[in-house]
Structure 1
Amino acid sequence: MKRLILLMLTAIFILSLSACQENEKVNEEDVKAFLKEYKSITHNADGEKDILITLEEVKPYLNDEWYKLNERDRRVNFPNTYAYASKNKVQLNDVRIESLDENTDEEGYKVKYTLLLTIGENNEEVDKGGNMVIIKGGAKGFTITYDWESMIIFDKFQFR
């Protein structure tokens, strides 16, 4: 009888602990710091950074599938490509989190963000929106499973 009670109490404890972990929200400031760190690698661009260096630097932030997609499509190099083509340096100043929600489609969180950038010799401030899906864990605290930014046109050049 004592074993049964002990077993039941253990099961209740484990279920309670699991429920607490599921309801644990991520801290928006932690997500912002993660995004700012990652986007600094990709968006502090002068047109001269080698894509292989960028890929190596972003690897700890991305899951394997997203890394392979970036390796193939060179998405993480879009800011550097823009800087090269337009002769405009790009500098990330800050990241604003517009929304942070649990991802009901799969595990993780949906993040809607705005990058606050400075572009060109006149240091013009530009906002660039995007959406990201992250999961907790990984070498940097979170892992990116999806990232998309809206295209803008600045100085007559497309910046994806």
Structure 2
Amino acid sequence: MDAINKPGVPTLFEWAGGTKAFEKLFDKFYDKVLADDLLEPVFKHMSPEHRLHVAHFVAEVLGGPKTYSEQEGSHFIMISKHLQKYLTEAHRKRWIELLLQTADEHSLPDDPEFRSAFMAYLEWATRIAVINSKTDEVTESADSPMPEWGWGVVGGPYMP
């Protein structure tokens, strides 16, 4: 049994504060994105629902409810949103920088174990986004499962 499903071990989603924490995080984050000279051109045409979709997607990946996959999209659809966006390493790094800045400002847990797992996911996901942004078709199956991200090496602050 992995740490994602181990009894007594909170998911990253739970540790972060649940759905409302992710919705607030991404709402405030996208305010920063739209005020940023590098990222605003990439995101200026995003739908009004984009903030919530990303919040629900990340929350689900980190062990939260299946709101995104059951009501809003799929991993395949999320990947397809990045096609032909031609994201650069500078875009990727700035996206992470602003998200972590927002996480600090809005009290996302700052313990090293959580931040390590959160950063690992952000690094992985943003690198996948950059790769997919340079193509015009999704190479994954349309029914590919949502990613699941946990603590990694268990030893978080939740341990007795």
Shared fold, TM over 0.5? no
Task: Give the structure, 1 or 2, with the largest relative contact order (CA under 8 Å, sep 6 or more).
Answer: 2
Higher strand fraction (1 or 2): 1
TM-score (norm 2): 0.28
TM-score (norm 1): 0.28
Bigger Cα Rg: 1
